[in-house]
Amino acid sequence: MNDKDRRSSEWFRLWPWLAAALSGVLLALCFPPCDIGGLAFVALGPLLFAVWLKKPARRSGWYHFRLGYITGLVFFTTTFSWLSELAGLFDSKMLLGLPLLLAAFLALYPATWAWFAGWIVGEHFKPIPQPDPTEPFSRPPLLYSTRNLFFSLLIAALWTALEWVRGWLLTGFGWNALGVSLHEELALIQIVEFTGVGGLSFLLVLCNAIGVITLLRLRAEIGRVRLRPHFDFSLTVALVVVVFSYGARVLFSEQTKAKTEPKNDVTSLHVVALQPNIPQKWKLEHGHEGEIIERLRELHAIASLTDPHLVLWPEAVVPGGMFSDEDTHKFVLELAAQVPALLLGTDDNDRGAKGEDHNSAALLLSGEKDVQLYDKRHLVPFGEYLPLRWALGWIAGDLVPGDFKPGRDVGLFKLKEPALTLAPLVCFEDTLGDLAREPVLRGAQVLVNITNDGWFGRSCEPEQHFVNSIFRAIENRRPLIRCTNTGITASVDSVGRVEKWLSPFQKGFASKQIRIASHGAETFYTRHGEVFSIGCAIVSITAIFVHALLLRRRTKTS
């Protein structure tokens, strides 16, 4: 074999792996810090080309699985690279490997999808030989639009189902689902009031699959006498147009409604959000409690002069928690008495007869002794508790010395003036669609997230956290207000329009008026949750079972 043939052979073996890695890079570019959402329409294309064009003679399923795993490993390691910031915070070089460790698990999802994409299609998209001159109208399977569309819909359904599973399996980490990349495309994302983010992911994967199929069809049709219409491509484009048109109609209706809506149908809530920008090192080290207290006192004193209805403090902002000792409790009550209502985050330790620890939100109303409490229900693994402590305690026990207990009740806070019901969401609970919709079902009119993104330094984590939370407002058609220690302190209206109030790592406060519909209707998503994604999971399981059965019968008859 000469050098030219050897190089050609090496390239033939190597290009599928490079294509899989390229898909991982393109997926990462869809999210902050690059945030090029339009790439999501083509990001999976290189991986699909590698799966459908390069078929080894044996063990093709394992081969496709490995291609998908490479894509996932590159994507998740890159997009969640901010986890390595914990190494400096805890002075542990072991934590530098956290992004790769998490990616090693999460990559199983795109790997499973790549296996399915190759297996369910079978020989349908294999390279097509030159057409037989004696059979000018012969049609290989690739040229059937109905079959192409059918397979593409199945592939899109499985991706959507896997993202849904990723959001809850082993407590779940569903950040950066493919549909989240479209957060700036307001007209396209309005369908999440029916489908959740899963509907957007489904649409994007369908576009990726049909795009690759169209290129393969064009290659196959070169030299043929008669070309067929690409109904699969046309129907996919039509679906995108329908989704866009619906969203444009919603946005237009919202603008018209804002101009003509009677004043008694809208409540104006004057909110002040404090962003104290307390360094995370201060929270982990003793001796900074006085500085934190004075920073809160200073900002609150100025904010209270704006005559707000509600003042927000971020997550776990009070040193030791507002119930930790008498002096801290008096400090919180003193400042709460200066405003009609104060909502703050507090670590609530040794509560009740069982002495449980909770990460909580508390609402204090002027003139009332009772404190409204909400305990965070979805805890952060390896942050707020250590999974399998009996097995992993010797490895990470020092980093997570104690476990918080998850709350049991849906959070609902009642304001007196104006008379409103708030849904408190603590930390990354604003990224969980099913959790956020539950209080809306029980009457919540506005979502309020208190969080602290200071754990991850000057990384892209605060922006990723924020873009994942935007969809909670659209899914439920309720405004979302975010108050952070440092991060993205902002508001999102019911159609996803964003107003950023303060920049990350800026100490200060924002005073804003929030328009809230007095009688907001419940959306399909609010009532039924992730039914679209669950439907995709049922379709995928059925397709796997039926296809396996057909292959078995075909093997017996051959």
Instruction: For residue 454, give the CATH number of its domain.
Output: 3.60.110.10
Of 172, 136, 178, 176, the C-alpha closest to 158 is 178
The span from the CA of 537 to the CA of 457, in Å, is 37
Residue 334 annotated as catalytic: no
User: Is the separation of the CB atoms in 345 and 376 below 8 Å?
Assistant: no
My answer on whether 516 and 539 are in the same domain is no
Q: How distant, in Å, are the alpha carbons of 424, 513, 524 from that of 537? A: 30, 42, 19
My answer on whether 27 and 137 are in the same domain is yes
The residues near 50 (Cβ < 8 Å, ≥ 6 apart) are 15, 16, 17, 19, 20, 67
**β-strands 489-492, 498-502 pairing:** antiparallel
- Residue 398: Cβ-neighbour burial (10 angstroms; 0-12, 13-18, 19+): exposed
My answer on whether 472 and 434 are in the same domain is yes
Residue 457 domain flag: yes
Beta-bridge partners for 266: 517
pLDDT in tens for each of the 558 residues of the chain? Answer: 565 555 556 666 889 999 999 999 999 999 999 999 999 999 999 999 999 886 655 557 899 999 999 999 999 999 999 999 988 888 888 889 989 999 999 999 999 999 999 998 865 655 444 445 444 434 456 778 888 999 999 999 999 999 999 999 987 899 999 999 999 999 999 999 999 999 999 999 999 999 999 998 887 777 664 667 889 999 999 999 999 999 999 999 988 877 676 666 789 999 999 999 999 999 888 889 999 999 999 999 999 999 999 999 999 999 989 988 899 999 999 999 999 999 999 987 766 556 678 899 999 999 898 999 999 998 887 677 766 665 666 555 566 656 788 898 999 999 999 999 999 999 999 999 999 999 999 999 999 999 999 999 999 999 999 999 999 999 999 999 999 999 999 999 999 999 999 989 999 999 999 999 877 889 999 999 999 999 999 999 999 999 999 888 877 876
My answer on whether 70 and 205 are in the same domain is yes
My answer on whether 111 and 161 are in the same domain is yes
Candidates 376, 384, 461, 530; catalytic one: 376
Residue 527 domain flag: no
Q: In what order do the strands lie in the sheet with 413-415?
A: 413-415, 420-426, 446-451, 480-484, 489-492, 498-502
My answer on whether 250 and 275 are in the same domain is no
Of 277, 289, 333, 338, the C-alpha closest to 311 is 338
My answer on whether 218 and 308 are in the same domain is no
My answer on whether 505 and 361 are in the same domain is yes
Q: Per the structure block, which two tokens stand in for 137?
A: 């109208």
pLDDT at 3: 59
Residue 178 domain flag: yes
- Residue 55: Cβ-neighbour burial (10 angstroms; 0-12, 13-18, 19+): middle
pLDDT at 11: 63
- Number of continuous H segments (helices) and E segments (strands) in the chain: 19, 12
pLDDT at 136: 41
Candidates 30, 427, 483, 536; catalytic one: 427
Q: How distant, in Å, are the alpha carbons of 334, 454, 556 from that of 228? A: 76, 57, 35
Residue 376 annotated as catalytic: yes
Q: Is the C-alpha dihedral spanning 482, 483, 487, 491 positive or negative?
A: positive
User: Is the separation of the CB atoms in 343 and 317 below 8 Å?
Assistant: no
My answer on whether 506 and 540 are in the same domain is no
- Residue 403: Cβ-neighbour burial (10 angstroms; 0-12, 13-18, 19+): middle
My answer on whether 324 and 225 are in the same domain is no
The span from the CA of 59 to the CA of 174, in Å, is 31
Q: pTM above the 0.85 mark?
A: yes
Residue 467 domain flag: yes
Q: How distant, in Å, are the alpha carbons of 73, 84, 224, 274 from that of 227? A: 40, 53, 7, 64
Residue 391 domain flag: no
Residue 417 annotated as catalytic: no
My answer on whether 493 and 550 are in the same domain is no
Residue 392 domain flag: no
H-only helix segments in 55-196: 60-79, 85-90, 98-106, 108-121, 145-166, 186-189, 192-195
User: Is the separation of the CB atoms in 347 and 321 below 8 Å?
Assistant: yes
Domains in the chain, number:
2
Domain that residue 251 falls in: 3-257+532-557
Residue 288 domain flag: yes
pLDDT at 278: 95
Residue 404 domain flag: yes
My answer on whether 225 and 289 are in the same domain is no
Of 384, 388, 423, the C-alpha closest to 405 is 384
The span from the CA of 211 to the CA of 264, in Å, is 50
Q: How distant, in Å, are the alpha carbons of 121, 206, 248, 496 from that of 245? A: 32, 18, 5, 16
The span from the CA of 178 to the CA of 31, in Å, is 9
DSSP 8-state symbol, 486 = S
